[in-house]
């Protein structure tokens, strides 16, 4: 068996052979087809160096040869880094939602991947927020059946102006209390919209002498009223609209908030448009 001293001798001989005895059959990086990242002692040729083109010796084709000063003479021409090259951005896709918040995407292609330590490719995919504006088309097609069964909860339109007055009390804000459990569904990017309705039935409980509830007296049979949907009351899960906003030329139900048992039916006479009801008129209401 070989002793410890014998093993050391063999190792020394191998090192000498590796570092001084190995000779490449190629003279340049191009001939050897070498362009190596980092420091690589096996990435070499045997020819003139960049700093001494008169001497034939081991020269390297790795990235660290510039620092070490032992690059082959053609390293710069053969192994210079080439950055990733990309195409122009494509067009943005359509908004993922036809009504309310959605996402648009675009992408670009790689024309040339990086070579020899060049810069990596930049971002190839992008996305941005968008707002679908086909809300009225959605409400008449996708949600028609559901809308017919909904009840429109209403308050007088002047309520919006009253909330900013000195008499406003957060504690008694009925509208806020009713919707506070679905604030996460609010989509305030859509504009307010409104439509006109004709009252086709109403209950006797709407005729009241109580001062705070007198507004319900306007909900009389065959009377036409303006009903508005504010962004604050819109629900994304319903297609960025107010619950109970009616269906064009169809009869649906309504309910006067804060006036017990004051309910009835109405028919939507005009299609919804981006508009607001006149808060100075008593026959103007808002959905909550």
Q: Is residue 60 part of a domain?
A: yes
Contacts of 243 (CB under 8 A, 6+ apart): 150, 151, 152, 153, 235, 287
User: What percentage of the chain has pLDDT greater than the value 90?
Assistant: 36
Q: Is residue 16 part of a domain?
A: no
Q: Is residue 58 part of a domain?
A: yes
Which residues form the domain of 31?
22-79
pLDDT digits (tens, 9 = 90+) for 219-240: 999 999 999 998 888 887 777 7
- First vs last Cα of the chain: how many Å apart? 95
* 146 — pLDDT class (breaks 50, 70, 90): confident
Q: Are residues 143 and 283 in the same domain?
A: yes
CATH number, domain at 114? 2.20.100.10
CA triple 282-274-184, angle to 5 deg: 90
- What pLDDT score was predicted for residue 179? 47
Q: Can you give the length of the chain in residues? A: 288
DSSP state of 17: I
* 117 — pLDDT class (breaks 50, 70, 90): low
Q: Are residues 281 and 201 in the same domain?
A: yes
* 185 — pLDDT class (breaks 50, 70, 90): very low
Sign of CA dihedral 207, 209, 212, 218: positive
Mean pLDDT over each residue of the chain, to the nearest integer = 80
- What pLDDT score was predicted for residue 142? 53
- What pLDDT score was predicted for residue 181? 47
> Cβ distance 261 to 203 under 8 Å?
yes
Q: Is residue 194 part of a domain?
A: yes
Distance CA 59, CA 29 (A): 9
User: Which residue did the predictor score with more confidence, 265 or 82?
Assistant: 265
Q: Are residues 277 and 141 in the same domain?
A: yes
Give the residue among 245, 246, 271, 251 at the shortest CA–CA distance from 200. Answer: 251
Give the residue among 202, 229, 222 at the shortest CA–CA distance from 285. Answer: 229
CA distances from 47 to 7, 44, 77 (A): 34, 9, 15
Region of residue 85 (phi > 0: left; psi between -120 and 50: alpha; otherwise: beta): beta
User: Which residue did the predictor score with more confidence, 9 or 45?
Assistant: 45
Q: Are residues 177 and 278 in the same domain?
A: yes
Q: Is residue 8 part of a domain?
A: no
Q: Are residues 29 and 92 in the same domain?
A: no
User: Which residue did the predictor score with more confidence, 2 or 72?
Assistant: 72
Q: Are residues 127 and 173 in the same domain?
A: no
User: Which residue did the predictor score with more confidence, 136 or 195?
Assistant: 195
Q: Is residue 26 part of a domain?
A: yes
pLDDT higher than 80, residue 18: no
Q: Is residue 189 part of a domain?
A: yes
Tokens 């008499």, located at residue = 167
pLDDT digits (tens, 9 = 90+) for 156-168: 988 766 544 444 4
Q: Are residues 202 and 65 in the same domain?
A: no
> Cβ distance 188 to 239 under 8 Å?
no
The least confident of 29-33, 190-194, 246-250 is: 190-194
Q: Are residues 192 and 67 in the same domain?
A: no
Burial class (CB in 10 A: 0-12, 13-18, 19+), 15: exposed
Name the domain boundary from 79, 102, 123: 79
- What pLDDT score was predicted for residue 262? 95
Instruction: Looking at 134-264, list the stretches that DSSP marks H as alpha helix, in order from N- to C-terminal side.
Output: 135-141, 144-148, 158-162, 174-179
Tokens 């109405």, located at residue = 266
Q: Is residue 2 part of a domain?
A: no
Q: Are residues 143 and 282 in the same domain?
A: yes
User: Which residue did the predictor score with more confidence, 102 or 109?
Assistant: 109
Number of domains observed in the structure of the chain: 3
Q: Are residues 66 and 174 in the same domain?
A: no
Q: Are residues 181 and 50 in the same domain?
A: no
> Cβ distance 50 to 71 under 8 Å?
yes
Tokens 């994304």, located at residue = 236
Distance CA 253, CA 246 (A): 8
pLDDT higher than 80, residue 145: no
**Residue 40 C-beta-side C-alpha neighbours within 13 Å:** 12
Q: Are residues 274 and 141 in the same domain?
A: yes
Instruction: Looking at the chain, list the stretches that DSSP marks H as alpha helix, in order from N- to C-terminal side.
Output: 4-16, 29-32, 65-68, 75-79, 135-141, 144-148, 158-162, 174-179
**Interval 254-272 mean pLDDT:** 94
Name the domain boundary from 79, 96, 123: 79
When computed from its CA atoms, the radius of gyration of the chain, rounded to whole angstroms, is: 39
């Amino acid at each position: 068996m070989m002793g410890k001293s014998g093993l050391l001798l063999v190792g020394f001989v191998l090192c000498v052979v590796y570092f001084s005895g190995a000779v490449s059959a190629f003279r340049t990086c191009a001939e050897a087809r070498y362009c190596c990242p980092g420091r690589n002692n096996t990435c070499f040729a045997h020819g003139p160096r960049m700093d001494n083109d008169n001497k034939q010796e081991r020269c390297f084709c790795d990235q660290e040869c510039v620092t070490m000063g032992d690059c082959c003479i053609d390293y710069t021409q053969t192994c210079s880094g080439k950055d990733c090259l990309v195409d122009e951005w494509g067009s943005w896709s359509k908004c993922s939602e036809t009504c309310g918040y959605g996402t648009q995407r675009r992408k670009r292609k790689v024309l040339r991947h990086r070579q020899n330590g060049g810069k990596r490719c930049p971002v190839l995919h992008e996305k941005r927020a968008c707002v679908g504006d086909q809300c009225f088309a959605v409400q008449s097609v996708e949600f028609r059946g559901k809308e017919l069964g909904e009840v429109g909860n209403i308050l007088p339109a002047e309520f919006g102006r009253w909330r900013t007055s000195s008499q406003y009390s957060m504690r008694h804000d009925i509208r806020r209390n009713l919707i506070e459990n679905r604030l996460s569904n609010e989509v305030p990017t859509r504009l307010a919209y409104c439509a006109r309705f004709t009252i086709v039935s109403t209950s006797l409980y709407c005729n009241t002498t109580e001062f705070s509830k007198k507004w319900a007296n306007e909900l009389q049979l065959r009377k036409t009223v303006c009903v508005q949907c504010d962004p604050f009351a819109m629900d994304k899960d319903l297609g960025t609209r107010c619950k109970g906003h009616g269906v064009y030329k169809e009869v649906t139900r309504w309910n006067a908030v804060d006036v017990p048992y004051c309910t009835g039916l109405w028919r939507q006479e005009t299609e919804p448009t981006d508009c607001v009801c006149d808060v100075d008129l008593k026959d103007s209401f808002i959905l909550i």
